[in-house]
Structure 1
């Protein structure tokens, strides 16, 4: 089980990412736009505004965590579970359609 403080920190990052998502997108569109070419100084101003946003609002700082344990590694997107929890659930026949493997 992951520490509760780490899970809460991740939830805080998710809220910040949702809050600043549209603002971040608009800055990036203005920087990349080819229709109305911006001068170099205007582009640098836009980049500075983008950098002035909170660091934790960037989507790359988010981690996918296990739904049950909060483990940040070895997660399967389809199930939302980490590898060892997924394996235990398959062995207990809690996931329909998943087959056990032995090696």
Structure 2
């Protein structure tokens, strides 16, 4: 069995009949599934990733930095208003915990 390899140009390999040429292109390019996948799934996931990155960078980090800044300013303001009397601090803590306990168990009475 002998054979020969004969190169054929692309213009000769394509059908001259337009409907057959369209079907041939669809089959040759796997119904353009790669392009369709890129335009739908990849574009959607990429957009969601960009939005998620922006949200994390500006909203979440902004809230965390805001809470940190508020606690820093709160600590600085308390530094100047603190009297140094530990009995008063303990009384305030116990009163707060007691009121919180009463408030949380109020419906159980």
Q: Which protein, 1 or 2, shows the higher relative CO under an 8 Å CA cutoff with sep ≥ 6?
A: 1
**What TM-score does the superposition give when structure 1 sets the normalisation length?**
0.29
The structure with the largest alpha-carbon Rg is 2
Q: Which has the higher helix share?
A: 2
**What TM-score does the superposition give when structure 2 sets the normalisation length?**
0.28
